[in-house]
Amino acid sequence: MFEKLQRKWKVNGIDLVLILTTFALGGSICGIAGRKIMELTGIEKGVTWIITYIIILSIIWPLCVLLTSIPLGQFTFFKKYIYKIFNRFKGKDFDNKIQAATPIPEETLRSALPEKKGDATNHITTLAIFASGAGSNAKKIIGYFENNPTVKIALIVCNKPGAGVLQIAKAHHIETLIIERERFFNGDGYCPVLKQQQVSLIILAGFLWKIPSALLKEWPASIINIHPALLPKYGGKGMYGAKVHEAVIANKEKESGISIHYVDDIYDNGEIISQVRCQVTETDTPQMLAEKIHALEHQHYPAVIEEVIKAKNTLNKSMVHQ
């Protein structure tokens, strides 16, 4: 049973013990607090008391568990866990099922397809690549699809005017868009510009800003990110680049890797498409681990993007011929 939970939650043995301990302690604290609150209500024991007690427990349980998780170092896990429960009550399924590779679940792809049916025979998938830095992943993606007649990289989007990725775009004659914070987060998110370019898939390649709701709404299940660790571990706000590798080394992990996933409104939380692992040795430094991770990114990210495109196009064609 414990091995099953480890696989489901993607945690090691120590973290699993701490998670189960948090559940137990949080539940006990919740029960005690619930009874104290019931004493204050003055309701006599009976059906009304039981119903009220259950409602109170349902309300305070998340808070009790979150507070308990802080000293046990499991706050990030329980924040995501409670968020998923909350969204399931709203009818959304945020259960991240780790897949070794594609194909992508059909229902996920279907949600991203246009409602109108048309001729998909000569369909071209148009990509926009978002990047903030040197652009090594962007360069690999551009090179990978350079001679592909069905994939067009229409735009490089960047939030830093001096970033190296802009030179890569220039060398490959790809249009660039420099974005500014206010319009991106509080305005239209540059959706009109992306629509004008007929972008159907957004690829994040070292892009450090969080994706705003405007983009998530217009491109559901069509924004892909790569993270330099095995999510859900070492993800979240502030966990990027060298910070991730330093944390992995500091915690003496035996393995790390890359996670390619869809983007939602929480950092590094969206449905995982593919994960690739590598060993972490006792002699590895953060820089050495970074080199291993970069090699995995360059090797696998473009290929996974291609598989996502193929799966979407296959489903689109099947819908056209229905």
**Does residue 123 have an active-site annotation?**
no
Q: Which of 29, 56, 89 is the C-terminal boundary of a domain?
A: 89
With respect to residue 22, please indicate whether it lies within any of the assigned structural domains.
yes
Spatial CA neighbour of 74 closest among 236, 225, 230: 236
Q: Which of 26, 55, 89 is the C-terminal boundary of a domain?
A: 89
Q: Extract the tokens encoding 25.
A: 């302690």
- Pairwise CA distance, residues 169 & 157, whole Å: 10
With respect to residue 231, please indicate whether it lies within any of the assigned structural domains.
yes
Do 49 and 16 sit in the same domain of this protein?
Answer: yes
Q: Which of 89, 119, 139 is the C-terminal boundary of a domain?
A: 89
Of 227, 245, 261, 300, catalytic: 227
Do 129 and 70 sit in the same domain of this protein?
Answer: no
Do 238 and 311 sit in the same domain of this protein?
Answer: yes
Has this prediction a pTM greater than 0.75?
no
Structural domain containing residue 6: 2-89
- Taking only the tens place, the pLDDT of each residue in 251-289 is 999 999 999 999 999 999 999 999 999 999 999 999 999
- Taking only the tens place, the pLDDT of each residue in 286-299 is 999 999 999 999 99
Mean pLDDT value across the chain:
85
| The total number of structural domains that make up the chain | 2
Report the relative pairing of strands 125-131 and 201-204 from DSSP bridges. Answer: parallel
CATH number at residue 212: 3.40.50.170
User: Which residue type, as a one-letter code, is found at position 286?
Assistant: P
Q: How far is CA 128 from CA 6, 44, 200, in A?
A: 36, 63, 8
Spatial CA neighbour of 137 closest among 34, 226, 22: 226
- Taking only the tens place, the pLDDT of each residue in 23-71 is 999 889 999 998 999 889 888 888 898 999 899 998 999 889 889 889 8
Do 62 and 121 sit in the same domain of this protein?
Answer: no
Sign of CA dihedral 157, 160, 164, 167: positive
Do 85 and 110 sit in the same domain of this protein?
Answer: no
Do 290 and 178 sit in the same domain of this protein?
Answer: yes
Do 176 and 270 sit in the same domain of this protein?
Answer: yes
With respect to residue 240, please indicate whether it lies within any of the assigned structural domains.
yes
The answer to whether 169 touches 175, Cβ cutoff 8 Å, is yes
